[in-house]
Amino acid sequence: MNLDATGPDEIRAAFGQAAEAAGERSQEVGGIASVLVEAADRYETLQMHPSTLGHLRDAATAFTTAQGSLSAAQEQLTATLADFNAHDGQVADATEAGGTRASREISAASGEAFVANPANVFKEITVNDMIPNVDPAAPAHAGSADALRIRDLLRVADTMVLRDGENFAGSASVRDGEGLMVLAAAVDTADGRVVHVAVPVPEESKADWKGAHTTAQESRIDPEDGDTYSVNTYSDATAIIGADDVAELPARVDDVIAQAAKVDREYRQLIRKSDRLHKERLQLELARFADAADAALQLRLDSSERQHYRCQQRRWAYVQDCLDRLGPDDRAGYEDLQRRIAAAGVDRFEPGREDLAAEVCGLTVREYRELVDIRRKPRHARTRDEQTRHDVLSGDRKPLLLAEQAAIIHGLSVDEYREWEALTNLGEPRTAGPYRSARGRTPEQQARYNMLQSSPRGATGATPGQTMQIRSQFDAYQRAHHSDKLTWTAERLERAELAARARPLDQVDAARLKQVIAEYDKINDRCEALGGEITARVEIPGHHNAKLVVEAVQREEDGGVDYQVRCVPPNAAEDGSLGDDPYRTTASGLRKLAKTLANLGIGR
């Protein structure tokens, strides 16, 4: 803070500088407190000694107390600035008459008096920096404390699209480790303050954001060649949150973190039990088989069997959702085809039905047997000739029965679907460059591709984008389901051969093996239900039906929690998926985000 200020503007700048510095230090100290709290929670799950955790939590409490003191200092400095503005004529006269009141510099960071360049401690701030777009002649806001504490960190005051009667009141942002950002701007309306929150926004696109009151796409003209191009303003990824809801966000985020941490502790305990049972089972399996490789293979096949079943059930659930979007005639046609396919086996091809399985695969019986035999080997264990033969037998397009089903979903004839399939395999158009030739679909092919892809028949969603997503995911799930049927069938043959090589266990070991398998499966079922799933969630409603969604996702493997944030617009798909990666962060990062938004809501 510059105590050598002589004019009203310089004094305003000095007071504003000190208030801003106090606010920044408050956020830094609060961030440290959040990190310590998260560390204590994590170490508690690792069963660290209670006394160690107590000291760590006491340190976090001390930082929280310090943050409160800094926040109080910021409020008092802001009040000082307001009082100065109320009596600025008198203060200005006194300052000019009395000359310099002091000649030292005080660091707000340490409180020590020293002679130094203030730029070494704080960024030098002018009145114009602190009051963006304020008209000195305006009776409202000009020179007021509210205007002076506006912090436009995003520099969007000039570009923000506002409605009549609205006033820009500040902006801030937070970035994750993947280059995605949360952009926020406070706006004062006739009904009170609101905060425009956009998430996720790529860092390179933040300059295109103008809040929620603009079109999702804007046309721009390239100054070099005059070509027109479109940019995404991310208005459809922006929620308008009321000040009251934003103020409650830190507390609601703490609830999400606490609930997720509780689930994570359970998950880590389950993982430890699963590892212990796996080791015990391996010892029992070694007693069954003369070869350790056979014992390991038995465990792998059992695990794979469960995985196949779970994955196939998920795929069936999605296919069923697609069928619910079909008209009666289309659904009847699809189900007739499904009965023919299921005759060979639903989730795997059944023994003794090779002729039916070959028809489903679009192969002869001999070719079907050859394909299954190759599938018995992992990809890395196949020879080059085997992999080439596998690719030839698998083909680059769906077998006829599956293609007929997909054509119904896409709202096309079989011939049209085959045409769309071929165009899809060509790939997106790519123009020629200095070091590459043109690739992908030609403009004429792209036009035809777009027409086929936008059929109004078949399975449709609320918007063209949702329709495209529904059909694309159906293709992926159908293809994966068919491929998994072949893999599961091949593994069933391996299991039969392995069982023939097994030796009988004595009665005690056989009973224990059965018990271990049952316990292991039960634990893994619970881990499967938790791993990769949303374990805690909160929705913050917006003023124009869009909402801000915060979710905790349980990590698989060794445990841990990831937190993701996204804005869900009113026209989003029913499953809430926007097709974009969400903003991801840690518990401390989520707390920082919540505090940043809350501060915008109250004008800090």
What percentage of the chain has pLDDT greater than the value 70? Answer: 83
3-state DSSP helix/strand/coil percent for the chain, to nearest 5?
55, 15, 30
Q: How far apart are CA 128 and CA 148, in angstroms?
A: 9
- The pLDDT tens digits for 236-287 are 899 999 999 999 999 999 999 999 999 999 999 999 999 999 999 999 999 9
Q: What's at 586, amino acid-wise?
A: T
Section 475-482 average pLDDT: 93
- The pLDDT tens digits for 368-389 are 999 999 999 988 999 999 999 9
Q: How far apart are CA 196 and CA 213, in angstroms?
A: 10
What percentage of the chain has pLDDT greater than the value 90? Answer: 58
pLDDT of res. 603 = 65
Q: Above 50 in pLDDT, residue 456?
A: yes
Arithmetic mean of pLDDT over the chain? 83
Strand-pair partners of 183: 173, 198
Tell me the two tokens of residue 335. 């189900």
Q: Above 70 in pLDDT, residue 119?
A: no
| Range from 9-23, 158-172, 259-273 carrying the lowest mean pLDDT | 9-23
Determine whether 287 is exposed, middle or buried from the number of CB atoms within 10 Å of its CB (0-12, 13-18, 19+).
middle
Tell me the two tokens of residue 319. 């296919």
- The two beta strands, 105-106 and 113-114, are antiparallel
Q: What's at 385, amino acid-wise?
A: D
pLDDT of res. 134 = 37
Section 8-20 average pLDDT: 74
Q: What's at 588, amino acid-wise?
A: S
SS3 553: strand
| Range from 56-70, 72-86, 467-481 carrying the lowest mean pLDDT | 72-86
pLDDT of res. 216 = 87
Q: Which residue has the higher pLDDT, 63 or 89?
A: 63
Q: Count of H helices and E strands in the chain?
A: 17, 12
Residue 131 pLDDT grade (very low, low, confident, very high; cuts 50, 70, 90): very low
Q: How far apart are CA 309 and CA 282, in angstroms?
A: 23
Residue 573 pLDDT grade (very low, low, confident, very high; cuts 50, 70, 90): low
Tell me the two tokens of residue 511. 């009973």
Residue 120 pLDDT grade (very low, low, confident, very high; cuts 50, 70, 90): very low
Residue 209 pLDDT grade (very low, low, confident, very high; cuts 50, 70, 90): very high
pLDDT of res. 577 = 44
> 243-280: string of b/e by CB count within 10 Å (b at 16+)?
bebbbbbbeebeebbebbbebbbbbbebbebbeebeeb
pLDDT of res. 433 = 63
Could you tell me which of 208, 207, 212 has the C-alpha nearest to residue 197? 212
Helix axes 88-98, 8-45, angle to 10 degrees: 110
Side-chain half-sphere CA neighbours of 93 within 13 A: 3
Is residue 523 within 8 A of residue 277, CB to CB? The reply is: yes
One-letter-per-residue 3-state SS of 292-326: HHHHHHHHHHHHHHHHHHHHHHHHHHHHHHHHCCC
**What's the pTM value of the predicted model, to 2 decimals?**
0.61
Q: What is the DSSP string of 403-456?
A: HHHHHHHHT--HHHHHHHHHHHHH-S-B--BTTB--BS--HHHHHHHHHHHT-S
- The pLDDT tens digits for 135-160 are 333 333 333 334 334 688 899 999 99
Tell me the two tokens of residue 298. 């038995």
| Range from 211-220, 252-261, 565-574 carrying the lowest mean pLDDT | 565-574
